[in-house]
């Protein structure tokens, strides 16, 4: 496994690999890697000759009052995880390498970025889309792997790729969970033991709503209330910032469930804001 710190060196390695006819997989991360990231790297390594993992905590996607300076980091451990999972190149650029000048060019995906996380974190998705478009220019023609835990992010990246014709095939990968059902996230490290146990209620509530939907309840409002009530049974978990029931492709809210929908929520558990979601497919009889 090669570790690079510059874009030019990474381009050199990828150009050489392409000249030999090798396929490239890209796994963008912000580091402090866990089994969820490992699953993306493994998937890429299984489907491509070369897997480029990037580790870069992107300042553009943090608001002034968010945890940029305290965001957890452990490069040595991350590199071991990358190697074990099958990465062949790891790019770990610093901020000056990624943003040598104050940035004047940004990418924003309107509409999809304005709801849910976008409504709570106004510049987050433009910062994310901007760095991901840079990473796509670094990776070049490739398959790029993203977790479904950040479902809105995945939808925005897919749309950006389609709108701007990036030569990238976006691959969405299933959420990897802790034993108690909590979706894995680098920010879970902020949770106390009690909060970690309590946070399992998010997945329980989502699964319960999905079961209700599959047994015939199609009213989105009833399902949202069902989730909120279950979450309210855990005093360490705040009332959700939102519980959204959306079309899985357009992310538009639905009143009645039909076809592929996604139930997405975010809530504060102590210090971190946690996200989770579940997919439900309601087949319609014709
Ligand atoms: O999901 C993340 O870790 C980040 O948003 C990403 C895609 C690496 C961009 O910084």
Give 240-260 pLDDT, tens digit per residue: 999 999 999 999 999 999 999
Q: Is 37 a catalytic residue?
A: yes
Domain end position, chosen among 143, 173, 203: 173
Do 168 and 190 reside in the same domain of the chain?
no
Q: Per the domain annotation, does 255 fall within a domain? A: yes
Calculated CA dihedral for residues 162, 163, 165, 171, nearest 10 degrees: -30
Q: Per the domain annotation, does 229 fall within a domain? A: yes
Do 129 and 266 reside in the same domain of the chain?
no
Tokens of 269: 């558990």
pLDDT band at 236 (very low <50, low <70, confident <90, very high): very high
Tokens of 170: 């976006």
Kindly report whether the global pTM for this prediction surpasses the value 0.85. Answer: yes
Do 56 and 166 reside in the same domain of the chain?
yes
pLDDT band at 283 (very low <50, low <70, confident <90, very high): confident
Q: What is the CATH number of the domain that holds 227?
A: 3.30.1300.10
- Domain range spanning residue 114? 2-173
Domain count, the chain: 2
**For the CA of 150, the nearest atom of ligand 1:** 1
Q: Per the domain annotation, does 94 fall within a domain? A: yes
d(CA 272, CA 252) in angstroms, rounded, equals: 26
Do 231 and 89 reside in the same domain of the chain?
no
Tokens of 146: 């993203």
User: Could you identify the residue written with the tokens 């992107």?
Assistant: 58
Calculated CA dihedral for residues 243, 276, 54, 71, nearest 10 degrees: 80
Domain end position, chosen among 173, 195, 225: 173
Candidates 37, 120, 124, 226; catalytic one: 37
CA of 220 to the centre of ligand 1 (A): 30
Please give the backbone phi and psi of residue 220, each rounded to the nearest 5 degrees, phi first.
-60, -35
| Average pLDDT across the chain, whole number | 97
Q: Is the pLDDT of residue 185 over 90?
A: yes
Strands 242-247 and 2-4, by their bridges, are unpaired
- 171: β partners: 145
Do 60 and 157 reside in the same domain of the chain?
yes
Q: Is the pLDDT of residue 285 over 60?
A: no
Closest residue by Cα to atom 1, ligand 1, is 29
How buried is 8 (Cβ within 10 angstroms: 0-12 exposed, 13-18 middle, 19+ buried)?
exposed
pLDDT band at 284 (very low <50, low <70, confident <90, very high): low
The stretch 152-179 carries a mean pLDDT of 98
Do 28 and 147 reside in the same domain of the chain?
yes
The stretch 60-77 carries a mean pLDDT of 95
Asked if residues 38 and 81 have their Cβ atoms less than 8 Å apart, the reply is yes
Do 103 and 158 reside in the same domain of the chain?
yes
Instruction: Please give the pLDDT value at position 117.
Output: 98
pLDDT band at 221 (very low <50, low <70, confident <90, very high): very high
Q: Is the pLDDT of residue 75 over 60?
A: yes
Tokens of 156: 């925005």
Q: Is the pLDDT of residue 286 over 70?
A: no
Q: Per the domain annotation, does 222 fall within a domain? A: yes
**For the CA of 61, the nearest atom of ligand 1:** 10
The predicted-structure confidence for 3-41, as pLDDT tens digits, reads as follows: 999 999 999 999 999 999 999 999 999 999 999 999 999
**Proportion of the chain above pLDDT 70, given as a percent:** 99
Give the CA count within 13 Å in the CB-facing half-sphere of 267.
29
**For the CA of 132, the nearest atom of ligand 1:** 9
Do 198 and 249 reside in the same domain of the chain?
yes
Asked if residues 82 and 33 have their Cβ atoms less than 8 Å apart, the reply is yes
Do 74 and 212 reside in the same domain of the chain?
no
Instruction: Please give the pLDDT value at position 238.
Output: 98
| Pocket residue to mutate for ligand 1, from 26, 27, 29, most atoms within 8 A of Cβ | 29
């Amino acid at each position: 496994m090669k570790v690079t710190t510059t874009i030019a060196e990474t381009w050199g390695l990828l150009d050489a690999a392409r000249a030999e006819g090798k396929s490239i997989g890209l796994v963008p991360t912000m580091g402090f890697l866990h089994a969820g990231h490992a699953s993306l790297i493994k998937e890429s390594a299984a489907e491509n000759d070369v897997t480029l993992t990037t580790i870069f905590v992107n300042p553009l996607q943090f608001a002034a009052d968010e945890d940029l300076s305290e965001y957890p980091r452990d490069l040595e451990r991350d590199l071991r995880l990358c190697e074990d999972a099958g990465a062949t190149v790891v790019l770990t650029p610093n901020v000056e390498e990624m943003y040598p000048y104050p940035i004047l060019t940004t990418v924003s995906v309107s509409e999809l970025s304005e709801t849910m996380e976008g409504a709570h974190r106004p510049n987050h998705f433009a910062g994310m889309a901007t760095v991901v478009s840079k990473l796509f220019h670094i990776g070049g023609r490739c398959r790029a792997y993203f977790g479904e835990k950040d479902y809105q992010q995945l939808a925005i990246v897919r749309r950006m790729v389609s709108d701007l014709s990036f030569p990238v095939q976006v691959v969405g990968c299933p959420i990897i969970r802790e034993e108690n059902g909590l979706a894995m996230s680098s920010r879970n490290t902020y949770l106390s033991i009690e909060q970690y146990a309590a946070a399992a209620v998010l997945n329980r509530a989502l699964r319960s709503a999905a079961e209700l939907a599959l047994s015939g309840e199609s009213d989105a409002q009833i399902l949202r209330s069902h989730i909120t009530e279950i979450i309210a049974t855990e005093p360490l978990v705040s009332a959700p910032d939102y519980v959204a029931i959306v079309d899985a492709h357009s992310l538009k809210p639905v009143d009645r469930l039909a076809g592929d929908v996604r139930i997405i929520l975010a809530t504060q558990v102590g210090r971190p804001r946690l996200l989770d979601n579940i997919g439900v497919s309601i087949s319609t009889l014709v």
